[in-house]
Amino acid sequence: MSIDGMTRDAASVRNLTVTFATDADPVVAVNGITLDVHAGEVLAIVGESGSGKTVTANALLGLLPETATLSGALIVRGREGGETDIVHATHAQLRDARGRDAAMVFQEPSTALNPVFTVGFQIAEGLRAHHRIPKREAMRRAVDIMRRVGIPDPETRVNDYPHQFSGGQKQRIVIAMALVLDAGLIIADEPTTALDVTVQAEILDLLRTARDEFGATVVLITHNMGVVADLADRVVVMYQGDIVEQAPVRELFAAPREEYTKKLLAAVPHVGRGKSARQAAEPGSAGAVPTTAPEDALVVAKGLQIAYPGRFGRPGVVAVKGVDLWIAPGEVLGLVGESGSGKTTIGRAIVGLTQVVGGSLKVLGHEMRGTSMRALKRLRPDIGFVFQDPATSFNPLLTIAECVAEPLVVHGRASDPRAARGRVDALLDAVHLPTSYGDRYPHELSGGQRQRASLARAIALEPKLLIADEPTSALDVSVQARVLELFSELQERLGFACLFISHDLAVIDEVADRIVVLRRGTIREQGTTAQVLGDAKDDYTRRLLASIPVPDPEQQAARRAAWVAAQEADTEG
């Protein structure tokens, strides 16, 4: 089947409707959309959760569940000129098209890779499924593609397992699996969501290489408008299953036509527009970096060392090496750094989940090094914790009200969840959730709603200190903006101190009074938000700042050129 006048497009969608059968009424996820994916372009599809962007991407590869009903036309074209009608294709036709004509780069590479097989076997498996080539030749191609996507020592690492690679390296391997088959269309579903800014920049550069050197067409699903500005040629904006606007990237950012697009762009956080701007406007903000903790500090770390014990006779791993930091009452301290820097380890040590092996860590006046479980039990009601993924931190068998009431029951503030319901309703109201949501289960709430409920649970005992570990990293920009606004409102009203852990410096700028920059377990720089973000002294901090994609195609093009030059200088050095 073909669509007249569109033979040059990598994919064509006409009046596509996707409906999911449920126990109640059917749910229309995509409502009669029409779009073209032009050969050789990067097309970004953006929108909030529930907009239909991921459903549209999965439909392009026929990856929707059996409960989905499709209507309309959806054509994917291969490099050799053949085409597949995804809506009416048989299982055999879909199997041939996947990998050969179109390939998917999933959001979470850990779930896309099989943990019991080497990465080389998994890359070669796709080759041998579509081409009759010897195993040795398939492995040779696997080594070659691993080298081309930037995996060091591919001849050796081809025999390693997924858990032996970092998050960024695993994402490179998933992209390699798509490129090795020479797929004409690559669909990347949130490929950089959980990655640090420096790794994110490398993955975006790799996707750009897939277009420029491999000649692939890329469909990018993302909620990060900085990523869109950095990589996309054209943008499609979706809302509640409809396309509300589509335009070339520069045109969309310069003059968005639709009100929803304007709101989406306005919700994007920018470095230099948050607390750093407000601090810079204050008299005396350019003073010396504070170096000593105040007497009433809630957290004081001096020469802090944290290590994880080794296994099978191997030496332990020292994750934090001689760190000095503090958190004053009512202060938000932003802790930033790449994966493996030790930031989450410090947060876990503050609540007693990780052992302190050297130096001193005092939390609410209590020394955590060598502390007993009994002492920790007395300390924990004064410390709240907001987890990165509330979906996994909530018990799926309990209602939201029961989850929020849990700390009240555990610490003896209520006899059971029913007795705590009045307090729970007040907490839900405080985080702007209807009290009726207390009777729902976690899976019945959206990501942003679950994170609000997680925040309600964290403040249930009115803690003096809150640990927030990447609380907005998986949220859409508009939902993220609302959660950050809510966090700032609660922090100002309740006055708790907070350790806010994030790899997103724009998010940190929205909430933090001071920033500590970590790298490989040591502090590289610390100071007020204005000092660190506005006048960074350390090369590593400057590299982090340079790696952030900004939601402005013109500005981002210049930043990308500077970043590439810096990377080349580092390589030559």
Could you report the per-residue pLDDT of 14-73, keeping only the tens digit for each? Answer: 999 999 887 778 889 899 999 999 999 999 999 887 788 889 989 998 988 888 899 999
Asked whether residue 408 falls in the same domain as residue 334, the answer is yes
Domain assignment of residue 418, yes or no: yes
Question: Is the per-residue pLDDT at 325 higher than 90?
Answer: yes
199 and 143 part of one domain: no
C-beta neighbour count of 153 within 10 angstroms: 11
Higher pLDDT, 298 or 443: 298
Answer whether residue 163 is part of any domain: yes
What residue numbers bound the domain in which 330 lies? Answer: 276-286+293-550
Question: Within a domain: residue 482?
Answer: yes
Which helix (H) or strand (E) segment holds residue 481: the answer is helix 477-494
The confidence score (pLDDT) of residue 5 equals: 41
CA atoms within 13 Å, Cβ hemisphere of 273: 9
Q: What is the pLDDT of residues 277-291, one digit of tens each?
A: 888 887 665 555 566
374 and 465 both lie in a single domain: yes
Position 42 in a domain: yes
Query: Of 437, 422, 59, 23, which Cα lies nearest the Cα of 221?
Result: 59
Q: How many CA atoms lie within 13 A of 438 on its CB side?
A: 24
Q: pTM for the full model?
A: 0.78
- Same domain assignment for residues 9 and 88: yes
Q: Is residue 563 in some structural domain?
A: no
**How many percent of the chain have pLDDT more than 70?**
94
Contact between residue 341 and residue 540 where contact means Cβ atoms under 8 Å apart: no
CA distance 490 to 194: 26
- Which of 182, 209, 238 terminates a domain? The answer is 182
Are 384 and 464 within one domain? yes
Contact criterion met (CB below 8 Å) for 49 and 446: yes
Q: Which residues contact 330 (CB under 8 A, 6 or more apart)?
A: 495, 496, 497
Instruction: Identify the band that residue 201 occupies on the pLDDT scale cut at 50, 70 and 90.
Output: confident
* Whether pLDDT at 301 is above 80: yes
What's the token pair of residue 16? 């596509």
Q: Which of 175, 245, 251 is nearest to 216 (CA)?
A: 175
408 and 530 within one domain? yes
In-domain check, residue 215: yes
**334 bridge partner residues:** 500, 515
pLDDT of residue 1: 39
| Whether residue 123 sits in one domain with residue 92 | no
CB atoms within 10 A of CB 489: 13
Q: What 3-state class would DSSP assign to 32?
A: strand
* Distances 449 to 1, 338, 390, 453, 454 between C-alpha atoms, Å: 43, 27, 10, 6, 9
Q: Which segments of 17-134 does DSSP mark as H helices, in order?
A: 53-60, 91-100, 109-112, 119-130
Tell me the pLDDT band of 329, cut-offs 50, 70 and 90: very high
By CB atoms closer than 10 A (0-12, 13-18, 19+), residue 241 is: buried
Domain end call among 182, 208, 229: 182
Within a 13 Å sphere around the CA of 266, how many CA atoms are in the beta-carbon half?
9
Q: Is the pLDDT of residue 568 over 70?
A: no
Using one digit for the tens of pLDDT, what is the confidence trace for 123-139?
998 888 887 888 999 99
pLDDT > 90: what percent of the chain?
Answer: 40
| Burial group, residue 321, by CB count within 10 angstroms (0-12, 13-18, 19+) | middle
Residue 183: what pLDDT?
Answer: 85
pLDDT of 299? 94
Helices (H) and strands (E) in the chain, counts: 23, 20
pLDDT in tens, 503-543: 888 889 999 999 999 998 899 999 999 999 988 888 888 88
Q: What is the model's pLDDT at position 6?
A: 41
Tokens 């230099």 -> residue: 272
The pLDDT of residue 469 is above 70 = yes
Query: Which of 132, 157, 182 is the endpoint of a domain?
Result: 182
Residue 571 falls within a domain, yes or no?
no
Look at the chain and report how many structural domains it folds into: 3
Give the mean pLDDT of 327-336. 94
Are 333 and 419 part of one and the same domain? yes
Tens of pLDDT, residues 383-429: 999 887 777 789 999 999 999 999 999 998 899 999 999 999 999 99
pLDDT in tens, 289-300: 566 888 889 999
What is the number of other CB atoms lying within 10 angstroms of the CB of residue 264?
25
Q: Tell me the pLDDT tens digit for each residue of 140-175.
A: 999 999 998 888 899 999 999 998 887 778 888 988
Tell me the CATH number at 5. Answer: 3.40.50.300
**Helices assigned H by DSSP within 256-369:** 259-266, 275-280, 343-350
Residue 312's contacts (CB-CB under 8 Å, 6 or more residues apart) are none
> Beta strand pairing status for 9-20 and 68-77?
antiparallel
Q: How much is the mean pLDDT over the chain?
A: 86
pLDDT band at 479 (very low <50, low <70, confident <90, very high): confident
Distance CA 291, CA 281 (A): 22
Query: Which of the four pLDDT bands, split at 50, 70 and 90, describes residue 572?
Result: low
DSSP 527: E
**Do 60 and 127 share a domain, yes or no?**
no
Name the range with the highest mean pLDDT among 94-108, 313-327, 396-410.
396-410
Q: Are residues 227 and 306 in the same domain?
A: no
Asked whether residue 565 is domain-assigned, the answer is no
Section 78-99 average pLDDT: 85
The encoded tokens of residue 123 equal 């890359």
Shared domain check, 220 and 346: no
Regarding predicted confidence, which is higher, 289 or 259?
259
Whether 129 and 172 share a structural domain: yes
Flag whether pLDDT at 4 surpasses 50.
Answer: no
pLDDT > 50? residue 2 = no
